[in-house]
Structure 1
Amino acid sequence: MPASSVLHRLPPVALLAGAFWLPSAAAATPPEEGMQLLAGIGWAHDDNLLRQVDGAPAFDGQRSDSYRTLEAGVVYNKRISRQRIAATAKVSKVAFDHFDQLDYDGRDLQATWFWDIGSQFEGHLKGLSIQTLAPYTDFNSDQRNLREQRRQEFDAGWNMHPSWKLRVGAARDKASYELAIQRFNNRTEKTFETELLYQPRTGSAIGLVARRVKGNYPYRRPFIGSVLLDDFTQDELKLRVNWLASGATTIQGLAGYVRREQPSYGEGATSGVNGRVSAFHTPGGKISYNAAVWREFAPIESPFVSYTLNKGASIGASWFASAKVTVEANAIYERRSYTARGDFAGADALRDAIRSASVRAVWQVRPKVQVVAACVHQARSGSALLGTGKFDANVVQVGANVLF
């Protein structure tokens, strides 16, 4: 269910030590039946680990640091008649060379039941719990700030006609933070949606999606002698499109009208076009391409505000250098507006932009053994009114993982 999960709205380059070691979509082999053990090891160096602003004094006189990641876990995949169970349980240990107060134990627990009843009814039930270090992109501190994310989701579809499908879904996302100063970003989002989907024989599809998202922030954010109520209600009516434009090009999108009510941020509500459109081009060679544009609301891990309205674009390419080596390159530009109530004098001071670029190489040494290397660049322009400034950061990562 592609709802407003916090997992889908992470910053372009988050400080998520260990997340980099996930298998490449291009290189990964199909999951095997039964249970497999997994293990991984990695090393990374970040020249601005805590995303310190240019010209500001560095924490402990140092901006850069290296960290090591060890991972271990279990992967389970089993088909029982028409049902399928997929689960992953992974733990990690991350240790920093200099800022050792950030050392932490992470976890990634996920399980999904893909259910199927006859030829007309299908769907899935999923739960996950992830604990990792929150990014420091919008938070100035050298203290450890663990983020715990939990999600439960249910999706059910009724194939009421060979070309028509009715689908309903619900999800609950919860995010909580370790540091007291970040507790104002603790939140629970509940999403309910229904969709009428038309799927002609061409393989393309178009659906009408109606969705409501209710957000609750249990801790009120202090603001100039008062408190801000970050709770919100967001109603959406969108078109979902999966268009097979040609044998090599696919265009996917979920976009339409959105109305968001959040009382603490001005009278009335924010409304307008919102969504994301992606394109994938895979010609008959060794290179494939992808691109996306979006305009959508997203939570932000800032002490001052709870959400931004983001407008962005990305472009990427994958080069299948050989049967075992894949190289992926991506560039992202995203402009964030901290007030969505419209333009006014001084509104530019409540905006910033984040740029990121990455190159990632995956060597599939054996069907169950991967070696991965990546370089990442991230830069933020800063918001003068919020007191955030410009920074640049560069990360180099190498690692290996194995299934057995």
Structure 2
Amino acid sequence: MPILDRLFVASTLAVSLVSPVFADPDDTFNIYVAAGAQQDSNLFRQAANEQSDTVQTTSLTLALSKPFAQQRFSLDATLIDYRYSKNDYLDYQAKNYNGAWNWALSYRLTGVLSASRTEAQNSFVDYTESTPERRKNVRQTDVNHLGAEWQVRGGWRLLGGLTNTEQSNSQTFSQQSGFVLNTWEAGAKYLWPAGSYLQLLRREGDGEYIDQQLVSFAMLRAPFNPQHDTDFRQIETEARLFVPFTGKSTLSAKLAKQAREHQHFSQRDYDVYVGRLDYSWQPTGKLSLNSSLRREVAAYQDYASSYYLGDGVNLQPTWQISARTVMRLNYDWQRRRFDGELIAGLAERRDTLQSIRLGIDWLPARWATVTTSIQRDSRKSSRDNFDFSTNILSVNARLNF
């Protein structure tokens, strides 16, 4: 029996049972069990020789949330098993968690101590590898953060924090190498009685690439030197604004200048403006729209680039068809400009990516959710053989205890 048929039968049987036990968001402890299947017509995002595959997932999530006086403790831990029907060498298990202690020494001095880990296969949009045994490349990202907020007087608050970020790949991914980055941040925030706020932050940190080896010009001259550095410094100045216009709409904005300076190869440096504008609108009780504009930067180091700037638009309308059924549409468009080339005269790379997804969530009972979706992703690139398109069909079922 095909996996989609098996999943449909399992979901139908599950929701047909009468269960006296179900999760409640206010419970101290909850358990979530989920199973799903995703049919992808072009798994490796290739322009030619497309390969389809079905990815089966099963997951178990344990969620804990406990208030204690002015403190709140929370922990979500999830184990996800990924199984590929045709390319079973890609199989892996992801162990993710997100824990936080929202602390308060007084009503004026509050903060958060948090730790998180995510594990996922590197996207084949960015990671290209023709050798099967090297295609499995799981990225692990750990973030540890300590933040504090002190209410000085009235709406004025002082902010500060320390963050440790570590990212690693199970295979070499020279364009987006693993790194360790330790940063501090400090700033101020003004909060108006209506809930609006304006926040200014300065963030600085030192980073180290953990899977790159320095090759000096004494060892290999330009233009053949890959100029992969070992250390960098990152500096960011950020402004944030949040405005709740009415009970039906909100606006949030971020504008920042981010710079990355490398210890040995200044050709890899960048100094750019990034930002994001989000607007949420709920015209009726059944209709809502989340929309955003964004500019982001990401390191992408090869001979033709050191980083890319991504300009994007996202639209997410939602329709509450009934008390138990919700329809969601997600459209995302992004244009990437790759800059910081090492060799003059190389053809510039420009990519345009689009994704459109239509999904339906069905809640047959308080303790069960069934989600189906159809999605189409594509890329148009100035590089030869970088175009692709793929169709994705997915079905997921989740039980809450």
Aligned to 1:20: none
Supply the distance in 2 between the matched residues of 1:301 and 1:90 (Cα, whole angstroms).
32
CA RMSD of aligned residues (A): 2.7
Distance, in Å, in 2 between the alignment partners of 1:254 and 1:181 is 30
Is residue 309–residue 340 contact of structure 1 (8 Å, CA) maintained in 2? no
Change (3 A) 1:235 1:68: same
Asked if the contact 1:139/1:301 (under 8 Å) is kept, the reply is: no
Partner of 1:101, secondary structure, is helix
Match of residue 370 from structure 2: 371
Unaligned residue ranges in structure 2 (runs of 5+) = 1-22, 216-222
In the alignment, what sits opposite 1:70?
58
1:70 is displaced (CA, Å) by 1.0
Distance of aligned partners of 1:100 and 1:33 in 2 relative to their CA distance in 1, 3 Å threshold = same
Q: Deviations over 1:177-218 (max 9, x none)?
A: 112455961112223212211111122111112122433213
- 1:137 aligned residue: 125
TM-score, reference length from structure 1: 0.82
CA distance in 1, matches of 2:292, 2:179: 28
Task: Give the residue type in structure 2 aligned to 1:113.
Answer: W
Contact 1:76-1:86 within 8 A present in 2 as well:
yes
**Residues 285 and 35 (structure 1 numbering): CA distance in 2 closer, same or farther, change over 3 Å?**
closer
Aligned AA for 1:368? W
Amino acid at match of 1:361: I
1:372: how far off? 1.1
Q: Which residue of 2 aligns with 1:37?
A: 31
CA distance in 2, matches of 1:221, 1:44: 41
Paired AA for residue 370 in structure 1:
T
C-alpha contact (below 8 Å) 2:376/2:389 kept by paired residues = yes
Q: Secondary structure at the match of 1:194?
A: strand
Distance in structure 2 (CA, Å) of the matches to 1:348 and 1:226: 17
Superposed displacement of residue 229, structure 1: 1.6
Q: Helix, strand or coil: the match of 1:396? A: strand
CA distance in 1, matches of 2:91, 2:127: 18
Change (3 A) 1:91 1:300: farther
1:351 and 2:343 aligned: no
Change (3 A) 1:253 1:115: same
Residues 81 and 99 from structure 1, CA distance in 2 versus in 1: closer, same or farther, beyond 3 angstroms? Answer: same
Give, in whole Å, the separation in 1 of the partners of 2:306 and 2:339: 10
In the alignment, residue 311 of structure 2 is paired with which amino acid? K
Q: How many aligned residue pairs are there?
A: 366
Residues 139, 302 of structure 1: 8 Å contact kept: no
Q: Which range is displaced more, 255-264 or 311-320?
A: 255-264
Quick check: 1:138–1:302 contact (8 Å CA) kept in 2?
A: no
- Report what 2:158 is aligned to: 166
SS of alignment partner, residue 228 of structure 1: coil
Q: Distance in 1 between matches of 2:323 and 2:188?
A: 40
Q: CA deviation at 1:383?
A: 4.3
What is the match of residue 320 of structure 1? 320
Q: Give the fraction of aligned pairs with identical amino acids, expressed as a percent.
A: 23
For residue 189 of structure 2, what is the aligned residue in structure 1?
197
Q: Secondary structure at the match of 1:338?
A: strand
| 1:47 to partner: Cα distance | 0.3
Partner of 2:392: 395
CA displacement 1:201-254 (0-9 Å, x = unmatched): 122111112122433213148782443226433322222100123332211011
Alpha-carbon contact 1:282-1:289 (below 8 Å) kept? yes
- TM-score, length of structure 2 as denominator length: 0.83
Partner of 2:207: 215
Q: CA deviation at 1:120?
A: 0.6
The CA deviation at 1:255 is 0.4
- Once residues 221 and 38 of structure 1 are traced to their aligned partners in structure 2, the CA distance between those partners, rounded to angstroms, is 46
1:237-256 equivalence runs, <5 A: 237-256=237-256
Pair member with larger Rg: 2
Query: Quick one: which amino acid aligns to residue 67 of structure 1?
Result: V
Is residue 117 of structure 2 the alignment partner of residue 118 of structure 1?
A: no
Shift of 1:261: 2.4
* Aligned equivalent of 1:51: 45
Of 263-272 and 65-74, more deviation after overlay is shown by 263-272
Counterpart code for 1:392: S
Structure 1 residues 288, 400: closer, same or farther in 2, change over 3 A? Answer: same
Q: Give the C-alpha shift of residue 127 in structure 1.
A: 0.8
Q: Distance in 1 between matches of 2:175 and 2:308?
A: 18
CA contact 2:156–2:191 (8 Å) conserved in 1: yes
Distance across 2 between alignment mates of 1:326 and 1:303: 47
Q: Please name the residue that 1:107 is paired with.
A: 95
Offset at 1:300?
4.9
- Aligned equivalent of 2:298: 298
- The whole-number CA distance in structure 1 between the counterparts of 2:303 and 2:90 is 19
